[in-house]
Amino acid sequence: MASTKTIVSLTPSTNPKPLLKPRDIVALDPVAEVYQALVLGTRDYIRKNGFEKVVIGLSGGVDSAIVATIAVDALGRITSSEYRCPHVILLPAVLQIPKHL
């Protein structure tokens, strides 16, 4: 088994990498910034842990709709599945929320 050595020079390179082009940064309102952070955190967690798909249990409330929306924005429609939890009182309009996602 051959060993390899890595030599790190302390002198500056004569051929430095070109600087990145500046980008325009759009400031988000606080709610949008929090939402984007939730989407990014969810996406990173799922990918870094090697999950291929997620299953989300939905009760039909507004919080379930938000969780489903974050999951779809983070992972896409293909990798997100929803299962509705049975409940005594489920309004027909509430049952339609996941279909729009």
Which CATH number do you get for residue 62? Answer: 3.40.50.620
Structure confidence at residue 31 (pLDDT): 94
**Is 9 within a domain?**
no
- What residues have CB less than 8 Å from 70, skipping those under 6 apart? 35, 38, 39, 42
Place of tokens 């983070």: 74
**Is 76 within a domain?**
yes
The domain in which residue 81 lies consists of 30-100
All residue ranges of the chain with pLDDT < 70 are 1-13, 15, 78-101
**Is 50 within a domain?**
yes
Structure confidence at residue 19 (pLDDT): 80
Q: State the pTM of this model.
A: 0.57
**Is 14 within a domain?**
no
Structure confidence at residue 41 (pLDDT): 96
**Is 12 within a domain?**
no
- What residues have CB less than 8 Å from 90, skipping those under 6 apart? 60, 84
**Is 73 within a domain?**
yes
Tally of structural domains, the chain:
1
